[in-house]
Amino acid sequence: MPFPTYAVSTELDAVNQILSSVGQAPVTTLDLQNPEVSIVLNTLREVNKQVQAEGWIYNTERHYEFTPDSTTNEIAYPSNVLQLDANREHHKDKIDVVRRNGKLYDRYNHTYEFTEVVEADVVWYFDFTDVPPAFQAYITARAARMCCVKMVGDRELQALLQEQEMLTRAAAIEYDCQQGDYSMFGFQDGKDYYNSYQPFQALMR
């Protein structure tokens, strides 16, 4: 049984929403020769990257393993990674990795070479169609406000679009909180949540 696809938003859908927000006619293709389409699409893609770089539950992974090349012992920095940091729980203070020359570089030991697998906490970049709907709405609303500044310059319209942006960001944060099962007590690796003190555990403690 095929699943409905109306809930999936494409870049073309988002571009048309943005064009509509600034009083422009919709388009049927993403023709970059059209100046307005080019501005909107580039803004949408830039905002998509900015929002994802914040790190959300859907694009963040902990303890992701990167294996050194068997010949050079170097690790190429993936092109779809927005943030990467060595997992402190696993590596303690032995290494501290950053991106340099397209590869992982260990700042502590001043080398590109690694003798073991690097476990890292990673924030990934995904195409717009692979982003959850709540974030698609937020990215589109934020891009619409930015396009209004670039293309229209109407302060009243900017204020209305900013209000819509705030509403969609709130919905995105709500989605992130529901999916992440966060707790004010933090978390421990390998567990969904951190158990705070409970009276019946007094004897154990």
Q: What is the pLDDT along the chain (205 residues), one digit of tens a residue?
A: 454 545 558 999 999 999 999 889 999 999 989 999 999 999 999 999 999 999 999 999 989 999 999 999 999 999 999 999 998 888 888 899 999 999 999 999 999 999 999 999 999 999 999 999 999 999 999 999 999 999 887 889 989 999 999 999 999 999 998 888 776 665 555 555 555 555 655 555 4
Residues 16 and 72 both lie in one domain: no
**What is the rounded distance in angstroms from the CA atom of residue 146 to the CA atom of residue 44?**
9
- Number of domains forming the structure of the chain: 2
Q: Is residue 201 part of a domain?
A: no
Q: How far is CA 47 from CA 5, 63, 66, 146, in A?
A: 24, 27, 28, 9
Residues 44 and 86 both lie in one domain: no
* pTM of the predicted protein model: 0.84
- Cβ pair 140, 172 in contact under 8 A: no
Q: Is residue 100 part of a domain?
A: yes
Q: Is residue 6 part of a domain?
A: no
- Cβ pair 31, 12 in contact under 8 A: no
Q: Is residue 34 part of a domain?
A: yes
The token duo for 74 is: 């170097």
Q: Is residue 161 part of a domain?
A: yes
Residues 66 and 118 both lie in one domain: yes
Residues 71 and 159 both lie in one domain: no
State which residues form the domain around 165.
11-55+127-180
